[in-house]
């Protein structure tokens, strides 16, 4: 879009019908009336992430007036910084970033600001020295998600009549320093600290992947013989933990209560099978939300700086009924 305006500005200053005609056909041929969006994606570490990528790829299509430049950073901040610099060089209309970690973005976002390219953050947040370096953020409330997970455990303990039992708890964390990890860990650990019966035995990162979640759970099962509850900061780590628990002859969902985050399709299957007890929702369908922000900006409107998405909590009592309505 920006390129179209530049071209038209050049054309009105150039005399001669031939030049105008040639320029006009070039606009049509390159389709430069599209809004170009560079999306720097974290990676492909989880089912949630795959659904998020799909949401952007299916929203930012030519038929909707967009050209999407998609970059998968493979969970590395340096790749995201490179991608953002490439977007700046390509003079995109908007830069969208799902930042792998919270810190270390000031320099590259200052470069984007100097180039006059608006930056929208999606999914995870950044900690910046100057909030004017981004225009808006849309995503889930990770702190609340963590708190909701502990509330579910509190309810479960009451219903199961286990209030007088000490419960040994393991926390599988996401990528350390990502706002999804920081918020959920805070919500979970602060919530657990309110009940002296809850014993947090250990917390360790499983990097939001199934393989690492399984590996860490295997080592936890070796180190602690009496684990009652596992919090996994995403579904894929919970799936890995379920496999590790089965491998030592224990029954996931019964011998060990498992609470996870995201609530993707497979989490519902696992809840229906009784292997996962609770999945706190984190909605990945941010493509249309970011497109809406861009449309408002294109129309000259203003958007809220921080936009939280509504999210629910699901468990074995409602998984079967809810599964058919799930979009990811």
- Interface residue with ligand AHR among 136, 153, 188, 282 (CB under 6 A) is 282
Phi (first) and psi of residue 256, to 5 degrees: -130, 120
Q: C-beta of 91: minimal distance to ligand AHR in Å? A: 28
Contact 235, 263 (CB under 8 A): yes
Q: C-beta of 261: minimal distance to ligand AHR in Å? A: 5
Strands (E), the chain: 35-41, 66-72, 94-97, 119-122, 136-139, 167-173, 198-205, 229-232, 257-262, 278-281, 306-308, 313-315
Per-residue contact track with ligand AHR, 176 to 205, x per CB under 6 A? ----x-------------------------
Count of residues making up the chain? 328
Residues 105-124 that bind ligand AHR (CB under 6 A): 123-124
Q: C-beta of 205: minimal distance to ligand AHR in Å? A: 12
Buried b or exposed e, range 300-315, using 16+ CB within 10 angstroms: eeeeeeeeebebebbb
Per-residue contact track with ligand AHR, 66 to 105, x per CB under 6 A? ----------------------------------------
Q: C-beta of 304: minimal distance to ligand AHR in Å? A: 20
Q: What angle do CA 196, 202, 206 make, to 5 degrees?
A: 135
Is 234 a binder of ligand AHR (CB under 6 A)? yes
Alpha carbons 33 and 57: distance in angstroms, whole number: 19
38: three-class secondary structure by DSSP:
strand
Per-residue contact track with ligand AHR, 246 to 265, x per CB under 6 A? ---------------xx---
Is 49 a binder of ligand AHR (CB under 6 A)? yes
* Residues in contact with ligand AHR by the rule CB under 6 A: 45-46, 48-49, 123-124, 180, 208, 234, 261-262, 282
């Amino acid at each position: 879009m920006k390129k179209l305006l530049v071209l038209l500005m050049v054309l009105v200053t150039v005399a001669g019908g031939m030049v105008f005609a040639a320029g006009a056909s070039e606009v049509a041929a390159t389709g430069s009336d599209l809004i170009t969006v560079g999306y720097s994606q974290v990676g492909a570490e989880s089912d949630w992430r795959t659904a998020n990528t799909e949401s952007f790829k299916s929203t930012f299509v030519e038929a909707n007036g967009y050209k999407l430049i998609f970059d998968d950073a493979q969970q590395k901040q340096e790749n995201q910084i490179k991608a953002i610099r490439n977007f700046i060089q390509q003079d995109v209309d908007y830069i969208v970033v799902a930042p792998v970690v919270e810190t270390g973005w000031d320099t590259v976002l200052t470069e984007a600001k100097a180039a006059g390219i608006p930056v929208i953050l999606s999914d995870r947040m950044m900690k910046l020295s100057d909030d004017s370096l981004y225009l808006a953020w849309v995503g889930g409330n990770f702190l609340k998600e963590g708190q909701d997970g502990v509330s579910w455990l509190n309810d479960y303990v009451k219903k199961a009549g286990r209030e007088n039992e000490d419960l040994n708890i393991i926390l599988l964390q996401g990528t350390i320093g990502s706002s999804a990890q920081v918020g959920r860990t805070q919500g979970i650990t602060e919530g657990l600290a309110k009940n002296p019966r809850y014993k947090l035995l250990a917390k360790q990162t499983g990097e939001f992947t199934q393989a690492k979640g399984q590996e860490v759970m295997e080592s936890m099962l070796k180190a602690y013989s009496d684990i009652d509850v596992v919090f996994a900061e995403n579904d894929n780590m919970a799936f890995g933990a379920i496999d590790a628990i089965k491998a030592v002859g224990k029954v996931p969902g019964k011998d060990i209560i498992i609470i996870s985050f995201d609530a993707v399709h497979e989490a519902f299957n696992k809840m229906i099978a009784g292997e996962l007890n609770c999945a706190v929702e984190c909605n990945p369908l941010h493509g249309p939300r970011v497109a809406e922000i861009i449309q408002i900006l294109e129309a000259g409107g203003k958007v809220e700086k921080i936009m939280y998405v509504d999210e629910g909590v699901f468990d074995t009592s409602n998984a079967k009924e809810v599964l058919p309505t799930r979009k990811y």
